[in-house]
Amino acid sequence: MKKFDPTRNNKSTMKKVGYKSRSKSNRKDYEKLGFKSGLEVHQQLATKEKLFCHCPAGIYQDLHDFDAELIRHMRPTLSEMGTYDGTALMEFRTRKNITYRIKNETTCTYDVDDTPPFPINREALKYAIEISLLLQQNIVGELHITRKQYLDGSIPTGFQRTAIVGIEGEIPLKEKNIRIIQLSIEEDACREVSDIAHSRIYTTDRLGIPLIETVTYPEMLTPDEVMEAGQVIRFINRSSGKVRTGIGAGRQDVNVSIEGGTRVEIKGVSHLSWIPELTHNEAFRQKGLLEIKKELLLRINDTDEWKPNFKMINFDISDIEYEPIKKAMDNGWQLVACNLPNFKGILSHFLQPGKTFADELEGRLKVIACLEKPNMVHSEDMNPVFNEDMLKKRSRLLNSGENDAQIVFWAHESDVATAMETIEERCRLAFEEVPNETRKALTDGTTIFERVLPGADRMYPDTDSAPIPIEDEYIDSIRNLLPVNLSERLRQLQKWQIPSDCYVYILKKNLMPLMENIIKDLKVDSKWLGTLFGHKMKFIEGRIIPSVGFDYNLIYSMINFLQIQKIELDIAEKMLPIICLNPQMEFESILNSLEYEKYKKEVILKNVSSLQNMFTKINHSKNPQAAEKWIMGNLRPIALGNIPLRELNDFVLKFLANGGVK
């Protein structure tokens, strides 16, 4: 009998799934998968205070800096159908002690659910309506604060207060438009400090900061479109000038499904650039699960009858070398062996790059049964930890058949039952569908299980808040102050003849209002200005981090200064890095540090003939442009700021064409 090779099985199943790297995939591949994706973009608003209390918004503490701690537990509440929501039950099974770390400066009794909400922050509501109007949405007549249950403890009440501001709407992508489902205003959640075994710790500084959530229809059909939609929503949010920027101020949840698959939500993607890889891999993970389902249904006639077999390990494994199991034995934990009938080849079945079906089990054991990873070994490990003798004994203990797979996990006695349930539940789901779940994004572009996806049943009215009417007059007053919308912005950039590789930078930094002022007031060439930002400034920021106090408006002042001093604008790009680092420095001093001296145009041009003279004496090059380059190179330091370089270049060329020195 040929020995089972998990590595080879992994490769062959990867082929069966049809996995290709993203760089080798094209639109057709995604079409074949039936790839569909929608976005939920979370964006913090730049308000002074939190959404439902008067704590300052946007102040963050070190995760380990706190004044007090308190402990809570979350209990599921009955849904309107008289049942418990799936997520609710899962979270309840995990039996987590939730600790909140509180800092007096940023947290009050509202945050920890010891005081009812104060009236909604009107500043936040105004910003949300403004952005809703930018998305061309239908604004609601009355805002109804709704409670959305979260039992993971990330919000001490156990629910997030949220309300719909507008529905429908549209955003422009390069090749199509994407429709918007809704925009809601809501309070941000706690930041997680740690989550180990039965203890989860949060800090409450971020809790309650107002944010908006923009939800698109699942109309993006390739990973790149998803990222593009994310960028456009970010541009629109930022164009309002009313949103926070910086780490964590904007986060995305990405929904992905394929033909025959299920909507799976990848949560908390903090960088737009991660989206393509994550969605690509999720699509193939779902394809892999569908392949597994197909394979299992071929092998198992009656899935209702299928049952894993669990046994406590009763043979001696004391000379095992594997640290986690040694530690478990030292702790007096239980070692449980499990036989999965007909699961041979499934545990090492490819699902994501470097991840298999066994990872799905391991992930759920960590989240639901609170078993820290590594929490199991199995019969298809690439590096087995049980020796031949132990494997034989395990086989006998479990009465394993040729087509079965085996798992061994270790856990404290009180967690064993939940762990068994979790394994059986996940294996059974493999017969049915791609499980409805939320997954956590990892930096390598893969995902791990986070929790069961909650249903619509977790929404209910907030009895602590009255509805808030939104009158036509109020909406109109906001509409009158709106920035130009994105489609118009794109048209304007084209009209200004700005190269398209500058667009993302300009829109992301919301520089158009500033550019408009510079062009209008200072009559600067728009194309030059566009590249000053989109190429020069972007290049500089890629290398140095602007100091505190740097503001793009300084560029307006700089250009204005140069114009008044009658200095050519070419020198601006040399000044920018210094301004970035020393925003307080006077422009005069910056010019000094660049050793700028004022020369009359004629003085500079006069030098051309003597330089050409010198060049002919030292020249060895046969390159016809050598003279032009050498002369320009020598003149640039004194020319910069005194004569447009292009004009100087034209003069030099003309001079040389006319035969040089006469």
Residues of the shown chain interacting with another protein in the complex, contacts defined by CB under 8 A? 66-80, 82-83, 88, 102, 104, 109, 112-116, 137-144, 146-149, 151, 156-159, 162-164, 167-168, 181-182, 184, 456-463, 466-467, 469-472, 475
CB-nearer residue toward another protein: 74 or 376: 74
Smallest separation (angstroms) from another protein to the CB of 449: 22
Closest alpha carbon to 160 in 58, 39, 42: 42
Backbone angles phi, psi at 150, to 5 degrees: -135, 115
CB-nearer residue toward another protein: 131 or 643: 131
Smallest separation (angstroms) from another protein to the CB of 38: 12
Task: Please check whether residue 310 is in contact with residue 435, taking contact to mean a CB–CB distance below 8 angstroms.
Answer: no
Closest alpha carbon to 128 in 468, 416, 409: 468
Smallest separation (angstroms) from another protein to the CB of 147: 8
CB-nearer residue toward another protein: 5 or 67: 67
CB-nearer residue toward another protein: 102 or 325: 102
- Looking at the DSSP bridge assignments, the partners of residue 100 are 70, 202
Could you give the angle at the alpha carbon of 461 between the alpha carbons of 455 and 465, nearest 5°? 145
CB-nearer residue toward another protein: 469 or 637: 469
Smallest separation (angstroms) from another protein to the CB of 507: 26
Task: Please check whether residue 549 is in contact with residue 574, taking contact to mean a CB–CB distance below 8 angstroms.
Answer: no
CB atoms within 10 A of CB 577: 18
298-336: string of b/e by CB count within 10 Å (b at 16+)?
Answer: eebeeeeebebebeebeeebeebeeebbeebbeeebbbb
Smallest separation (angstroms) from another protein to the CB of 374: 31
CB-nearer residue toward another protein: 93 or 148: 148
Sequential DSSP letters for 272-337 = GGGHHHHHHHHHHHHHHHHHHHHHHHHH-S-GGG---EEEE--S--TT---HHHHHHHHTT-EEEE
The distance of Cα 647 from the centroid of its chain, to the nearest Å, equals 47
| Percent of residues in the chain assigned helix, strand, coil, to nearest 5 | 40, 20, 40
Rg (CA), the chain: 32
Smallest separation (angstroms) from another protein to the CB of 172: 18
Q: Alpha helices of 368-412 — where are they, by DSSP H?
A: 388-398
Smallest separation (angstroms) from another protein to the CB of 418: 16
Closest alpha carbon to 422 in 377, 364, 367, 374: 364
Task: Please check whether residue 88 is in contact with residue 149, taking contact to mean a CB–CB distance below 8 angstroms.
Answer: yes
Helix (H, G, I), strand (E, B) or coil at 257: strand
CB-nearer residue toward another protein: 305 or 472: 472
Smallest separation (angstroms) from another protein to the CB of 151: 5
CB-nearer residue toward another protein: 11 or 64: 64
CB-nearer residue toward another protein: 183 or 507: 183
Closest alpha carbon to 241 in 155, 166, 130: 130
Smallest separation (angstroms) from another protein to the CB of 210: 17
CB-nearer residue toward another protein: 301 or 480: 480
Could you give the angle at the alpha carbon of 440 between the alpha carbons of 436 and 446, nearest 5°? 100
Smallest separation (angstroms) from another protein to the CB of 87: 11
Smallest separation (angstroms) from another protein to the CB of 133: 11
Print the SS3 string covering 341-360.
CCCCCCCCCEEECCEEHHHH
Smallest separation (angstroms) from another protein to the CB of 433: 22
Task: Please check whether residue 424 is in contact with residue 408, taking contact to mean a CB–CB distance below 8 angstroms.
Answer: no
Task: Please check whether residue 358 is in contact with residue 426, taking contact to mean a CB–CB distance below 8 angstroms.
Answer: no
CB-nearer residue toward another protein: 140 or 351: 140
CB-nearer residue toward another protein: 106 or 612: 106
Smallest separation (angstroms) from another protein to the CB of 596: 56
Smallest separation (angstroms) from another protein to the CB of 463: 5
CB-nearer residue toward another protein: 101 or 426: 101
Smallest separation (angstroms) from another protein to the CB of 465: 10
Helix (H, G, I), strand (E, B) or coil at 269: strand
- Looking at the DSSP bridge assignments, the partners of residue 211 are 44, 186
Burial (CB < 10 A; 0-12, 13-18, 19+), residue 388, is exposed
- Pairing type for strands 437-441 and 264-269 reads parallel
User: Residue 108 contacts by C-beta under 8 Å, 6 or more apart in sequence?
Assistant: 53, 54, 55, 115
CB-nearer residue toward another protein: 76 or 577: 76
Cα separation of 234 and 250, whole Å?
8
CB-nearer residue toward another protein: 5 or 471: 471
Smallest separation (angstroms) from another protein to the CB of 213: 11
Cα separation of 346 and 334, whole Å?
25
Task: Please check whether residue 490 is in contact with residue 172, taking contact to mean a CB–CB distance below 8 angstroms.
Answer: yes
Q: Alpha helices of 34-113 — where are they, by DSSP H?
A: 86-93
CB-nearer residue toward another protein: 110 or 343: 110
